[in-house]
Amino acid sequence: MNVLSSNPAARAAVRQGVSVSVATGLYGISFGALSVAAGVGLGPTMALSLLMFSGGSQFALVGVIGAAGTPVAAVATAALLGLRNTLYGAVVSPLLQVRGWRRLAAAHLTIDESTAVAVAQPGPAASRIGFWVTGIGVFVLWNAFVLLGALAGDALGDPRAWGLDAAAAAAFLALVWPRLAPRSAQLVAGLAVVATTALIPFVPPGIPVLAAAAVAVVVGLVTPTAPGTVVEPEKESVP
């Protein structure tokens, strides 16, 4: 990687990748502690972090299990949350141009953070560096800190006393915050709040999230205007 010493764009991609990796990795402490507290043991918690490796899906699955949800609801929620990684894969695949085992590895490392850093770079070479540095960095640090959180979680006692449940809520808020600029996103966010709040008392855990996703699919498919050119979502298209 001699390109790193001579190319400012590559160095910037590395810097961004490392800082995102550290910030995201540290958050693994919350997941490790919450997962163990939800009744998911150390082994399954680490299996989730190593094999699923998608923060939103991991938190969602553990949340459904912790709320005594069914396995089907847990799998469905995790998979639906993982659906955005399909889009990310389609976006980064042309940038990476990899085949064989590297493509399998790239797929595993395709998450919010690696995609975000990759697409933010000025050229394909920096994008590739940003993707791999972020993907590998988050993978290593996330799993290390999940292990730490899972082990320390037992010693810490109730994670609520440390505010870790609020930390998870805040993390989801931080993830969605930059996506709320378009009017269509604000509309969907409002509908998601209403649907979730209305359903929580009446349906099994996990279902409110799926219902909110279904509302978004309907809005996305029936709204005729193109992304980026949205001025005002069509009111009559919303149930």
Partner 1 sequence: MTTTALWATVLVASLACYALKLGGHLIPRTWLASERVSRATTLVTVALLVSLVVVQGFADGSALTVDARVPALVVAALALALRAPFILVVVLAAATAAGLRALGWG
Which of the residues 84 through 143 are near partner 1 (CB under 8 A)?
84-94, 103-104, 106-108, 110
8 A C-beta contact, residue 27 and residue 55: yes
Q: Of 54, 121, 127, 134, which lies in the binding site for partner 1, with binding defined by CB under 8 A?
A: 54
Q: Which is nearer to partner 1, 68 or 140 (CB)?
A: 68
Q: How far is residue 152 from each of residues 22, 31, 52, 53, 157, measured CA to CA in Å?
A: 19, 12, 22, 21, 9
The structure tokens 């949340």 sit at 63
User: Using CA atoms, how far apart are residues 61 and 56, in angstroms rounded to an integer?
Assistant: 9
- Give CA–CA dist 82/92, Å, rounded: 16
Distance CA 172, CA 63 (A): 13
Q: Which residue has tokens 């930390």?
A: 167
**Nearest Cα to Cα of residue 45 among 58, 63, 55:** 58
Which residue in the set 3, 51, 120, 140 belongs to the binding site for partner 1 (CB under 8 A)? 51
List 10, 36, 37, 74, residue binding partner 1 (CB under 8 A): 74
Stretch that binds partner 1, among 4-12, 118-126, 140-148, 161-169 (CB under 8 A): 161-169
Of the residues 36, 37, 81, 146, which one makes contact with partner 1 according to CB under 8 A: 81
Query: Could you say which residues in the range 192-231 bind partner 1, by CB under 8 A?
Result: 192-193, 195-197, 200-202, 205, 208-209, 211-213, 215-217, 219-221, 223, 226-227
- Nearest distance, CB of residue 109 and partner 1, angstroms: 9
Least distance from partner 1 to the Cβ atom of residue 187, Å: 9
The amino acid at 49: S
Contacts (CB under 8 A) with partner 1, residues 166-185: 166-177, 179-180, 184-185
Q: How far is the CB of 118 from partner 1 (least distance, A)?
A: 13
What is the four-CA torsion angle of 3, 16, 185, 176, rounded to 10 degrees? 140
Judged by beta carbon, residue 81 or residue 150, the one nearer partner 1 is 81
For residues 145 and 25, the answer to whether their CB atoms sit within 8 Å is yes
Residues in the chain: 239
153 binds partner 1 (CB under 8 A): no
